[in-house]
Structure formats: structure tokens, C-alpha cells
Structure 1
Amino acid sequence: MLGVRLDNLNELEVPLPPLPEQRAIVAKLERLFTELDRSVAELEVAREKLGVYRQSVLKEAFAGRLTEGWRERQHEPYLTPQPRNSSKFKADISSFDLTLPQQWQVEALGNLSNGVQYGTSAKSLKEGSIPVLRMGNMQNGRLDWSDLKYSVDQTEITKYKLSKGDVLFNRTNSPEWVGKTAIYNEEQPAIFAGYLIRINQDINFLDGQYLTYFLNSHTAKMHGNRVKTDGVNQSNINGKKLSSYPIPLPSLIEQHQVVQEIDSRFSVADHLEREIGVSLERARGLRQGVLKRAFAGELI
């Protein structure tokens, strides 16, 4: 247990200017810290607005508005192909809030995949031959490769090894995080844990990045909130419910165009978010710098 011994505290030397100067230093610190706190609050608001902006981009994208000009420039419309098993699952559109272009349709996710797969339930290790991706490794539609666990079980590795473009869906988590989705882009070999589902989308009909963006959209989250099963501090969306998710479906070539439009806007938002992070870190350093100057007699 860390702490400070009383003997050490009693021996601590404290710079002690005259009392009027102490009061002046405190007043100056309060003014500077008030301004600094205001700046930090404004940066935090700006970061929250970026989250709202991203959701606005996704809503426009999956209503077909980001590619409206692209469709108008095509000599012939790209029609959405009919999935081979389009009658196997029925899309649950009771909470679907998007008005789609005429060329698009709504399809159940299960009809656009070759079946969903639950991840490994084997106990992960601190060290091993291959990482096991868990729900904590999925952040903002991407995979976070920190805080990894591992496997050495070759049977499990063969069965659950990920391939480039695989989409992972978080089926069990706290109510606000269940349903978050990320795409595996072959950053390094990995398998996936049991709280995740590999969707196995049919690449002839559904682009993985398009699907990932949609499942992280407000429309998909609202649908997930309606169909999830709630337990004690945990919610669950099983494979059957996931297979009935309604997916706005344009042609595959337009899906690629939608992804490009989202990527271009998100890259700007990502840059701004990094800048905000740097500014917040600088603000924390500035606070310590002000205190150092104050107690070195350099502030006033």
C-alpha cells in the first residue's frame, strides 16, 4: 500500500512568501485555473459533438443520401441482386427508421450471410501463440490490440481463426455496449472469444465494412435495444435475433461507394479528435506548469 509517512510530511519544506503574496498567488491561480477549466470543458463538448457528427454521417449514408449524386451520374441503375436464401429469415423492420432510395431494399442479415458463429469458450491465457479477441478489444468499429489474452490450443485456433474482412458482433455486454461491431483487417493472426459472433457475411451481396458501419449506427443500435434480452448488468442479442436485423441494401458497388463517403468524413473527424486529445493533454501539463511557477515565485 502506497502512502506518505508522517515523519516525511513533517520534514517537507514549503516555500513561504509573506501572507499578502500568498493571497495574491492564490487569486492568480484561481483566475488561471478557471480559464483553463473553461477551455477543457469546451474541448470536451467539441469531442462529444464529433460523436454526434459521426452518427449523423451514418444516418445520411444508410438513407442513401451520401451517394445520391453518385446514383444520378450512373448511365444505368445498379439494381440490388436478390440473395439466394432471401426467404429463410424475415427482416424485423418494426423499429426501422430509414426511408430508402427506390433502388435499395431491406433484407434480413441472415439472408446475407452463410450462418453466424459463436467464438471460443475455452479459457484464455496471459501468454500464448495467438491472441483471443474479446469484447474489450472492440472500440468504435475497430479492433484495439492492447490488453490481449492468448490461446495455445491448436484445435481452437483452427476452428476460430479470423480471416480478412470478418465482421465481429458483441452479443453480450452491458446494455449500452451490447451490439458493438468491428471488422478484422488481418492486422495480425487472431481468434475470437465466446461473447462475440462472427457473422460470415456473403461477400457477393454484402461488404464487410458497409455492414460494420451500419451495425454501429443509431438505427441498428435502436433495433438492438428493442430485441436484446436483459439480465443482471448484462444484455444479450443471440444469433437468431442478429440474423433478423434489417439491413438497408443497395448494390454491392454502391455499398463500396457508401463506405468511401463515410471514410472520407470520418477521417476528418478522427483528425480533429486527435487534435482535441493533444490539446487536453497539453492542458493537463499546463496546470502542473502553472503550479510549478507559482511555488517557484515566478507567477507574480
Structure 2
Amino acid sequence: MTPQELKNSILQLAIQGKLVEQRPEEGTAQELYAQIQAEKQRLIKEGKLKKEKPLPEITENEKPFDIPDEWMWVRIGQIFNLQAGKNITATDIYDEPSEKHKYLCYGGNGVRGYVSRFNREGNFALIGRQGALCGNINIANGQFYATEHAVVVDHYNLTDVLWGGWFLKALNLNQYATATAQPGLAVSNIIKVLIPLPPLAEQKRIVAKIEELLPLVDRYEQAWTKLENFNRRFPEDMKKSILQQAIQGKLVEQRPEEGTAQELYAQIQAEKQRLIQSGKLKKEKPLPEITEDEKPFEIPEGWMWVNLGSVVLFENGDRSNKYPVEKDYTNFGIPFFGAKDMGKTYMQFDNVRYISKNKFEELGNGKLHNQDFVCLLRGSVGKVAIFKADTKHQTGFICAQMVIIRCINLKMVNYLQHLFGTEYYARAIAKKITGTAVRQLPAKELAKIFIPLPPLAEQKRIVEKLEELLAMCERLKK
């Protein structure tokens, strides 16, 4: 049960006469009702109250629920005098109180601000009658100003003001609002609404019980909110924890027969040398060795800390004068990807721009292969998505604010995809960002990020376990 549902339940018990016991010595609602009618007649004779048309008799079919024998069903207009306040211009209402503007001003949705004069004095329940929150109830004390959008509930000093406020709230008067762009409540409709009337002494005991229970409800709300926040965060927190366990070698067991990361690393370096010798790859400056002090956390013995740039290839886009401009865009052809085309996992084709095949062939670097990672270097720096080729899109081209990360061994793609989704990767990227007005990530700095490298067979088992557990996290979100 939500805190609001609990409050509603308490109010429902209150208006049904189930919150406190009835006491015969406190009299009956019929006696109180007679006193209210006598007081109304006195005020009418003195000219302080206008004579009203009698309200319709209450039929048995109208009564929504049973109430105690000592209580009485009445219409709101039979026990209260409802009067809307007076108009005041917005320029006369101030956000902060001052010596000149010291009176609270109530409108349709509660307090609007402070004004220099008051038009009511005393203790009253107020009904908002205009706006999205029409039907809301406020209690005003002392000197205050009620606008035309606030209905002042005069109780003739014969009913408890707070009781009136709580019971009017329980009636959910908003349900009687007109269904228009600007919802409103007509006083002529409110006065016909049924309200259960208890004896005055019981009214006071009901108020005391509500005020006793509300602090308990507030404490419940605090605990409930904490639990709700925990439940809302839990799937995402669990996902982050699972990913961290994965890259620390704690998600699956290590198997000596699967070899070592050192062996995988040597294979990748041999392939890089082959590409260099065949002229398909330029020789790069060696990346600095990773010292023991630099290693972010412990990993299994069969694993290895490496620079990202030592196990993948980086390729910037063509930034020559051949770079595509607006006149080169076509209705179909080769996708020309920008930041907007990066999905959560894959590059998206829904709103991608296209360039012609001829234009694409003019370009140099920046042409995508299947299962290439695309990494954003400006704006949401470090964001990564995979280019997945299909029958319609065999390749693509990246914009200037992106870089291609190409796996030398394509069997590493799925492991790296999950690594790029870890908090560890996000923190590593954050340390490399330059610029303030425009956040940027130099590709050479991206290459220096340390990553934990498991053996290839273990990578596969890690990915399989992650897909099983992360699917569970997604189900928990829903």
C-alpha cells in the first residue's frame, strides 16, 4: 500500500465512522443539525445570510455507504455556507512576504503568494474551485485573502473546522469538476454533495486520531520511499555490479586448459605485425608499459592488463577536403553516421543520412566493416555502438567526431561490448576528457585506457553468463 493509499484509507475509515468509537453521551448528529439550522435562521433574520432555496431531500439510493446510528447524512450546503473569494490581479500578489504585503493569498491551487490586504478573518477550510487541482482542501487561519478561485467554507462555529477540512478532502470533490481545458467546480454543485455528519465531540476525537496517525504515516512514507528508490535502482545497480564482477574475473571460474591472456595477446601482436608487413597497417609508436601501481584492480593469474590500443585498431574518419558536406547527401546509398545514429548497442539506420557510392569511394579512412565499434569523441564522449552489416548496408562512413575501434580478433567483440558498458570504462574515459565548453576525447588517449584481458574461451563464457544475468536485470526493471 502506498503512503497516499494509506492516508486515503484512514480518511475513508473516518468518514464511515470506523476510526473512533461512538459515545452515546456525546449526543447525536440530528441534535447538532438542528442547532446549525437554528443558527442559519438567526443569521438570515439579522440580514447576515441570504435565504437559500431548499436543497433536495436525500434518498436512500444516494447514500454511498452505511454510517453509525448517531450520525446523519446531509448535503454540504445544509451545514456549511460556501462563498467564493474576490478577484485580485496577479500584479498585486508577491512571492515573498513584506511589511506591506503580509497576508497570505489563496487561489484555486492553494497559496498563491502575499498581498497587502485581507478579505477574511478566522479559521476556515478552503476549497479550490479552479485549475488542475480544483477540489483540493486548505485550512486558512487568521487574516487572509481568498481569490475568486477559492471557496471559503463557513461552518457557523458549530462544527470543527479541521474535521470539515478532512471530510471534504475525503469526498474527493475533484470528481465533480467540469471536464474542460481548465477544470472548475461550481458552488451550486458542491452544495448538493452528500457528507456524513457526526456529533461535534466525535468530530474533535476524529481530528485528534487523524493527527495522531499522520506522523506514523509520514514515517511509513519515508521508509516506503527509501524502499521504492532501492527497488528502482536495484536492477541497474545489480547490472553494474555484475559487469564489474565480469571484468574482475569473478563471474565464471578460470580453467587452465583454456590457455592464458598472454597467449591471446601474443597472437594479436603477431597479426598486427603481419598487417604492417603487408602494408595494410601503419607501424605505431609502442604504448607505455603498465606498471604495477597503475593496475586498477586485481585480476586472475591467467589474465593480463593491456592498453586498449594494443589489442584493437583505431581508424579516424577522412578529414580531407573530400569529407562529405550537405550537397553530397542522397536519398539512398552508403550510410553516413553521426552521433544521432548511435543506439544503445548498435548503430541505427532509421534517420541516417546517405552519401553516394561514388562519393564513398573517393574517401579514405572512416569506412566501416561488420562488427566495428564506433566511438564518439565529442559530446557524449566514449559512447560506443556496434556497426552490424546487413543485406542493405554492407558498410558505412563515420563523421569527424567519431573513431572506429576494430577488433583484430573478431571473437573479442562481445566481451569488449560489455566492457564498454561498465562503470570502470566510464570512469576511465572521464579521466581522459579535455575541454569544458565542448567535451572531447583524443583518440590517442582512448588507446591508452587499461583493460583486463581474459583468455578467449573464458571471454565467451563470461559473455554467455552476462547475457543470462543481464536479461534477468531487464525483467526486474519491468
The match for 1:181 among 368, 381, 384 is 384
The match for 1:122 among 304, 307, 324 is 324
- Other-structure match for 2:420: 215
Equivalent residues in 2 for 1:110-259 (5 A)?
Answer: 110-118=309-317, 121-123=323-325, 125=329, 127-152=331-356, 154-156=358-360, 159=364, 160-173=366-379, 177-187=380-390, 189=393, 190-203=396-409, 207-232=412-437, 234-259=438-463
CA distance in 2, matches of 1:126, 1:46: 48
CA distance in 1, matches of 2:435, 2:302: 37
Contact 1:108–1:245 under 8 Å retained in 2: yes
Opposite residue 147 of structure 1, the aligned amino acid is: N
Opposite residue 296 of structure 2, the aligned amino acid is: D
* CA 245–41 in structure 1, closer or farther in 2 if over 3 Å, else same: same
- 1:75 Cα shift? 5.9
Opposite residue 65 of structure 1, the aligned amino acid is: K
CA distance in 2, matches of 1:41, 1:237: 37
Identity rate, percent:
16
Higher-strand-fraction structure: 2
Per the alignment, in what secondary structure is the counterpart of residue 54 of structure 1? helix
CA distance in 2, matches of 1:23, 1:97: 69
The normalised TM-score by structure 2 is: 0.44
CA distance in 2, matches of 1:155, 1:126: 10
Equivalent residues in 2 for 1:49-88 (5 A)?
Answer: 49-68=234-253, 71=254, 74=255, 76-80=257-261, 81=263, 82=266, 83-84=268-269, 88=286
The normalised TM-score by structure 1 is: 0.67
List runs of 5+ in structure 1 lacking aligned partners.
1-9, 25-38, 276-300
* CA 119–170 in structure 1, closer or farther in 2 if over 3 Å, else same: farther
* CA 192–258 in structure 1, closer or farther in 2 if over 3 Å, else same: same
* CA 56–128 in structure 1, closer or farther in 2 if over 3 Å, else same: same
Asked if 1:268 is matched to 2:472, the reply is yes
Contact 1:91–1:246 under 8 Å retained in 2: no
- Other-structure match for 2:126: none
Higher-helix-fraction structure: 1
Asked if 1:19 is matched to 2:185, the reply is no
* CA 103–150 in structure 1, closer or farther in 2 if over 3 Å, else same: same
- Other-structure match for 1:6: none
- 1:191 Cα shift? 2.9
- 1:103 Cα shift? 0.6
Opposite residue 268 of structure 1, the aligned amino acid is: M
Per the alignment, in what secondary structure is the counterpart of residue 60 of structure 1? helix
CA distance in 1, matches of 2:194, 2:225: 25
> Which is further off, 257-266 or 54-63?
257-266
- 1:144 Cα shift? 3.9
CA distance in 1, matches of 2:447, 2:183: 67
Per the alignment, in what secondary structure is the counterpart of residue 213 of structure 1? helix
* CA 115–196 in structure 1, closer or farther in 2 if over 3 Å, else same: closer
* CA 272–88 in structure 1, closer or farther in 2 if over 3 Å, else same: same
> Which is further off, 218-227 or 119-128?
119-128
Opposite residue 234 of structure 2, the aligned amino acid is: K
Q: How many residues align?
A: 244
Q: CA-to-partner distance for each residue in 1:226-258, whole Å, 9 max, x for gaps?
A: 1111231x2111111111111110111111211
Contact 2:344–2:385 under 8 Å retained in 1: yes
CA distance in 2, matches of 1:58, 1:268: 13
* CA 14–256 in structure 1, closer or farther in 2 if over 3 Å, else same: same
* CA 22–109 in structure 1, closer or farther in 2 if over 3 Å, else same: farther
CA distance in 1, matches of 2:236, 2:318: 30
Per the alignment, in what secondary structure is the counterpart of residue 463 of structure 2? helix
CA distance in 1, matches of 2:381, 2:194: 52
Two-structure CA RMSD over aligned residues (Å): 3.7
Contact 2:258–2:455 under 8 Å retained in 1: no
Opposite residue 324 of structure 2, the aligned amino acid is: A
- 1:41 Cα shift? 11
* CA 13–135 in structure 1, closer or farther in 2 if over 3 Å, else same: closer
Opposite residue 131 of structure 1, the aligned amino acid is: P
Larger Rg: 2
Per the alignment, in what secondary structure is the counterpart of residue 374 of structure 2? strand
Q: CA-to-partner distance for each residue in 1:12-65, whole Å, 9 max, x for gaps?
A: 9989671146799xxxxxxxxxxxxxx999878645433222211110000011
Equivalent residues in 2 for 1:38-57 (5 A)?
Answer: 46-57=231-242
Per the alignment, in what secondary structure is the counterpart of residue 257 of structure 2? coil
